[in-house]
Amino acid sequence: MQPNPHTQTLHDTIAKLFAPGKGILAADESVASIHKRFEALSIPLTEENRLAYRSLLIGTPELSNEISGIIYHDETFRQMIDGKTFAEYSREHGIIPGIKVDKGLLDLPNFPGEKLTLGLDGLKERMEEYYALGARFCKWRAVVDVRGSTDEGIEANMRNLALYASIAQSAGLVPMVEPEVLYEGEHLQHETKEVMIRTLTHLFGELALYRVDLTGVILKTSMTLSGKKSGEVLTAQEIAQVTSEVLHGSVPKNIGGVVFLSGGQTPVQASENLSEIMKIGNYGFPMTYSYSRAIQDPVLHFFAANMKAMDEARAILKDRLLMNTLALEGKYTPASETGKSSEVAAVTHSQDL
Ligand code: 13P
């Protein structure tokens, strides 16, 4: 096999993304997904408002103190802030731009309720364009339903993730591979654990099969939660313990790194669980967060009512990020909250389901 000429670039990107104390902001909601969030908060569904909201996030002064990378959607990647593309603006402010490259979910024929993530067609060309525009990492999200996904559905999704990852590495982009095990549902934690182990086993099997260099891959994973409607109440310590068992048992130590999605947890839950997971430590690979809703929700709720009050909205964002920085050190508890960014009326809509 020819050595990949981009290996050093991939490793440099990973080192920067996992700079100690920093996380990766997911701001890559599709137009349809962000519209569901806007609609719920009565924000008019316009391109201008999408741009204003994302400019608010990205234009936060000294954002790079807490954020190492931002995942964008294609639309944002081509929009301008202060006369520059979002990618240029991010790079100039010490943040690595990333891009969501999958094309969303298809109902998997013959498997009622299951979804297959698509987007391999033209992927190499799209990635080369994104690289030229400044992207250095990318994301592809598959969804796994604890009680609904079959081995066939999981296998098809993990194969697409591996093919995507191999193409990304050949284009110089670090692939973030995201098999999101959904929090929605009535399943218990032991069921989530079993499905996460099965999913990760398939995923790493496929990555090996397609000769993906794990040292240049980031796994984006769920925490091992019980379903949102299960009625099973777990402490953050219990969630962290089982999550760490899953990661220790199922993630090869030579992976570039692991990041968590928030998946519909509240901002406080996502910080508390992260803190307990980090406290356990000794994973053998770098870890951080890559949240969308658990960071953005308090900001978006404020924005909905005060669209012009940029400074206050940015102070809310900063406050939430500082809580997560504490969590990365294993030092966050709900008592750390200032009250500025902890309360949200409701967690907003997930990315496409
Ligand atoms: P949430 O943190 O809202 O789950 O979003 C993270 C993400 O990128 C989902 O694909």
Ligand 1 centroid – CA 184 distance (Å): 13
Does residue 293's CB lie within 6 angstroms of at least one atom of ligand 1? yes
Task: Answer with the residue of higher pLDDT: 2 or 166.
Answer: 166
Separation of CA 12 from chain center: 20
Structure tokens at 343: 């309360």
Question: 230-252 burial by CB neighbour count: b if 16+ within 10 A, else e?
Answer: beeebebebbbebbbebbeebbe
Catalytic (active site) residue 220: yes
Please state the atom number of ligand 1 nearest to the C-alpha of residue 71: 8
This prediction has a pTM of 0.97
Q: Which of 29, 66, 114, 178 is catalytic?
A: 178
C-alpha to C-alpha distances, 181 to 9, 57, 224, nearest whole angstrom: 30, 27, 9
Q: What is the pLDDT of residue 351?
A: 82
The per-residue pLDDT for range 299-321, each reduced to its tens digit, is: 999 999 999 999 999 999 999 99
Ligand 1 centroid – CA 209 distance (Å): 27
* Cβ atoms within 10 Å, residue 321: 22
Does residue 294's CB lie within 6 angstroms of at least one atom of ligand 1? yes
How would residue 353 be classed by pLDDT, with cut points 50, 70 and 90?
A: low
Of 248, 250, 237, the closest CA to residue 277 belongs to 237
C-alpha to C-alpha distances, 328 to 21, 29, 74, 109, 332, nearest whole angstrom: 6, 24, 29, 41, 8
The per-residue pLDDT for range 56-71, each reduced to its tens digit, is: 999 999 999 999 999 9
Which residues, other chains included, contact 171 with Cβ-Cβ below 8 Å and sequence gap of 6+?
Answer: 6, 124, 127, 128, 131
Q: What is the pLDDT of residue 296?
A: 97
Please state the atom number of ligand 1 nearest to the C-alpha of residue 262: 2
The per-residue pLDDT for range 146-201, each reduced to its tens digit, is: 999 999 999 999 999 999 999 999 999 999 999 999 999 999 999 999 999 999 99
Residue 1 in this model has a pLDDT that exceeds 80:
no
Q: DSSP alpha helices (H): ranges in the chain?
A: 7-17, 31-40, 47-58, 74-78, 86-92, 123-132, 151-170, 189-209, 236-250, 267-280, 293-305, 310-328
Task: Answer with the residue of higher pLDDT: 352 or 158.
Answer: 158
Ligand 1 centroid – CA 88 distance (Å): 24
The per-residue pLDDT for range 199-250, each reduced to its tens digit, is: 999 999 999 999 999 999 999 999 999 999 999 999 999 999 999 999 999 9
Does residue 27's CB lie within 6 angstroms of at least one atom of ligand 1? no
Catalytic (active site) residue 88: no
Mean pLDDT of the chain: 97
Does residue 292's CB lie within 6 angstroms of at least one atom of ligand 1? yes
* Cβ atoms within 10 Å, residue 342: 17
Mutation probe of ligand 1 site: the residue of 115, 137, 261 with most atoms within 8 A of C-beta: 261
Indicate the SS3 state at residue 177.
strand
Ligand 1 centroid – CA 2 distance (Å): 35
Q: DSSP per residue over 187-198, as a string?
A: --HHHHHHHHHH
Does residue 348's CB lie within 6 angstroms of at least one atom of ligand 1? no
Q: What is the pLDDT of residue 240?
A: 98
Name beta bridge partners: 67: 23
C-alpha to C-alpha distances, 13 to 17, 18, 169, 173, nearest whole angstrom: 6, 9, 12, 9
How would residue 36 be classed by pLDDT, with cut points 50, 70 and 90?
A: very high
Rounded Cα–Cα distance for residues 23 and 20 (Å): 9
Residue 77 in this model has a pLDDT that exceeds 80:
yes
The per-residue pLDDT for range 269-301, each reduced to its tens digit, is: 999 999 999 999 999 999 999 999 999 999 999
Does residue 243's CB lie within 6 angstroms of at least one atom of ligand 1? no
